[in-house]
Chain A
Amino acid sequence: MTKSFVTIADLSKEKIMSLLEAAARFEENPNRKTLDGKVIATLFFEPSTRTRLSFETAVNRLGGRVIGFSDAATSSSSKGESLKDTIMMVGNYADLIVMRHHLEGAARYASEVSPVPIINAGDGANQHPSQTMLDLYSIYKTQGTLENLNIYLVGDLKYGRTVHSLLMAMRHFNPQFHFIAPKELAMPNEYKIYCKEHGINYVEHTDFNEETIADADILYMTRVQRERFTDLMEYERVKDVYILKADMLKGTRDNLRILHPLPRVNEIATDVDDSPKAYYFQQAKNGLYVREALICDCLGINEK
């Protein structure tokens, strides 16, 4: 078995911390020759320009080379080739495969058949663990710790895969969560059960205002999408409730930082961008260092 990175669910606290420390070293010195002579494949069966560019930049800054495709229409899977066959073929050429696929569990399966390590760059609604690692890195970097933080998750907590993964990854660090969402998009029961099983404290809110967020260390915003609602009346009623505006930040803590997995539509008003508490653009940049760390870890390279 090669060392793949498929899910956040089974990462230990020690593993998370060592990856974050590696990411910090890459932030200090992101341009290296670590991957000189290595070929990394980026197989995007489902397009995602943002994630692909982040991974490909990480490879390029480490001196490696990239092969691959950016959407399934240009790959052999459009001719009906099985995932296994594509992975076996590319595994002959590359030292590591970064893949994104619309089917859930695709990366896990690929990691079982592949001769080289697999990094999951998103498998449908299931996992997107490099996003979770960059969220953790952003929290760690801005707060100086992951322990004992007040983390507020806002918006679509029902379908938002990033908030579910973040919730699971934070189980090691004694967080106090606040779930702020309209009823239709509330945190699903299975994750509330997960919280109870892992001793994670949480409070649920439906209103979102200055008072609710006064004690927040991290405000993690997500998009409330119209197509998620079965009741469009409900959507019209709540669509403007979960928008963060600059004047809501007045009474908040100095160390508060606002995160968002991007792309943003209107859930964060543009007047927030100028606040020192806005962190979502730096957050995306952190993805580069985290991905440099993940690639090296999967290849068994320990960079100082």
Chain B
Amino acid sequence: MNNKKTELLVAALENGTVIDHIPSELVFTIAQLLELEKLNSSVTIGYNLTSKKIGKKGVIKVADKFFSDEEISRLSVVAPNVVLSIIRNFDVVEKKEVITPDELHGIVRCSNPKCITNNEPMSTYFHVVDKQAGTLKCHYCEKEQNKSKVKLV
């Protein structure tokens, strides 16, 4: 019953992308990383919906938008486990997972306060040196840091 109500709240999508089973606290971060505020097509964001699997969940539906791998890879730092469903003509035609890229441009902040990137109007740039352990190395100050400790820009 509950499930049905939830479905009713979120309109079905003809073409576009659905990200389901998002831990609620990550919904707005993901929206920000995917720059949804810049889109003109309709975007539906569900927040604190009841999920049997993860308690509270979020869902994002974006009409007429198919994210590039580069755009999706921006989620690798905070939400590496979300899955994007590609919808065409009301059907899921593909499921895309987040792939950790070799480099992160302008996504996270360097944790070194004496790094040039924290003191100059410029974009950050990290090399992902260990994808398994989540080790990032700042291209500028050369400090290694773990992705669990860095903040988004």
A123 — which chain B residues lie within 8 A by C-beta? 116, 141
Q: Give the A interface residue count (CB, 8 A).
A: 19
B interface with A by C-beta (< 8 Å): 112, 114-117, 119-122, 138-144
Looking across the interface, which residue of chain A has its beta carbon closest to that of B110? A105
B121 close to A124 (CB less than 8 A): no
Q: Mark A1-33, 1 if CB is under 8 A from B, else 0.
A: 000000101000000000000000000000000
B144 close to A105 (CB less than 8 A): no
Q: How many A-B residue pairs have CB under 8 A?
A: 51
Q: Which of B112, B121, B122 contacts A104 (CB 8 A)?
A: B112
B140 close to A108 (CB less than 8 A): yes
In the bound complex, CA of A83 to CA of B118 (Å): 12
B143 — which chain A residues lie within 8 A by C-beta? 104
A124 — which chain B residues lie within 8 A by C-beta? 114, 141
A106 proximal to B (CB < 8 A): yes
B138 close to A105 (CB less than 8 A): yes
Other 19 A-B pairs with CB < 8 A, given A104-B114, A190-B144: A7-B142, A82-B120, A82-B121, A84-B122, A101-B116, A102-B114, A104-B115, A104-B143, A105-B116, A105-B139, A105-B140, A105-B142, A108-B140, A109-B116, A109-B120, A109-B122, A124-B114, A124-B141, A126-B142
The 6 A-B residue pairs with the shortest CB-CB distance in the complex, in nearest-first order: A105-B140, A104-B141, A105-B141, A105-B116, A103-B116, A106-B116
In the bound complex, CA of A85 to CA of B114 (Å): 19
In the bound complex, CA of A109 to CA of B124 (Å): 10
A125 proximal to B (CB < 8 A): yes
In the bound complex, CA of A9 to CA of B139 (Å): 12
* 21 chain-A/chain-B pairs, Cβ below 8 angstroms: A7-B142, A9-B142, A82-B121, A83-B116, A84-B120, A84-B122, A103-B114, A103-B119, A103-B120, A104-B141, A104-B142, A105-B139, A105-B140, A105-B141, A106-B116, A108-B116, A108-B139, A109-B116, A109-B120, A126-B142, A190-B144
B119 — which chain A residues lie within 8 A by C-beta? 103
Q: Which of A83, A109, A125, A190 contacts B114 (CB 8 A)?
A: A125
The answer to whether residues A105 and B117 also contact, given A7-B142, A9-B142, A190-B144 and a CB cut-off of 8 A, is: yes
